[in-house]
């Protein structure tokens, strides 16, 4: 009968990762993640730079509604340095259906030159302004 000595037997290596291997794998993982995040941030920055922000007639309507007084007539202007190359026109008149109750129709036109032809956007709103001066007649 043979006696077995446990110390003399060759032990099979245990399957495990050393601390060094885990640290190297973690470093590689974080380098890859930060490289991908850098690419995504650069792509978003470039996409933002390609966006062209157009002027909107809603800004003119909001400015008009800051006061409760309207004046019939045509006004025009530009947006200054905020939107260079854009111009606007505002046409204010009594609403043709009921010309005596202080209800006005305001037509906005925002335009800009693209090549040789202008590009225009239009918007109309109704404003009730009973304190406004009425010229007496109505159009349209």
Give 62-112 pLDDT, tens digit per residue: 888 887 678 888 999 998 888 888 899 999 888 777 666 778 889 999 998
Paired sense of beta strands 117-128 and 103-114, if any:
antiparallel
Select the more confidently predicted residue: 130 or 35.
35
Which uninterrupted H or E stretch holds 90?
Answer: strand 86-94
Q: State residue 45 phi and psi, 5-degree precision.
A: -60, -45
- In the chain, what is the straight-line distance between the N-terminal and C-terminal CA atoms, in Å? 121
Is the pTM higher than 0.75? The answer reads no
Q: Are residues 46 and 63 in the same domain?
A: no
Neighbours of 108 (CB within 10 A): 21
Q: Are residues 81 and 115 in the same domain?
A: yes
Q: Are residues 44 and 78 in the same domain?
A: no
| pLDDT of the residue at 7 | 61
Q: Are residues 80 and 24 in the same domain?
A: no
Q: Are residues 63 and 46 in the same domain?
A: no
Give 7-61 pLDDT, tens digit per residue: 656 665 667 788 999 999 999 999 999 999 999 999 999 988 888 777 888 888 8
Nearest of 113, 97, 114 to residue 105 by alpha carbon: 97
Gap between the Cα atoms of 90 and 75, Å rounded: 5
Q: How many domains does the chain have?
A: 2
């Amino acid at each position: 009968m043979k006696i077995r000595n446990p110390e003399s037997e060759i032990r099979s290596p245990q399957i495990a990762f050393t601390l060094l291997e885990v640290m190297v794998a973690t470093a590689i993982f974080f380098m890859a993640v930060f490289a991908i995040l850098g690419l995504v941030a650069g792509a978003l920055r470039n996409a933002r730079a390609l966006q062209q922000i157009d002027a909107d007639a809603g800004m003119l309507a909001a400015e008009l509604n800051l006061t409760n007084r309207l004046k019939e007539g045509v006004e025009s202007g530009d947006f200054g340095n905020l939107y260079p190359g854009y111009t606007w026109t505002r046409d204010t008149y009594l609403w043709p259906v009921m010309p005596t109750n202080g209800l006005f129709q305001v037509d906005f036109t925002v335009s800009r030159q693209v090549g040789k032809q202008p590009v225009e956007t239009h918007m109309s709103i109704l404003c009730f302004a009973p304190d406004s001066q009425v010229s007496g007649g109505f159009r349209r």
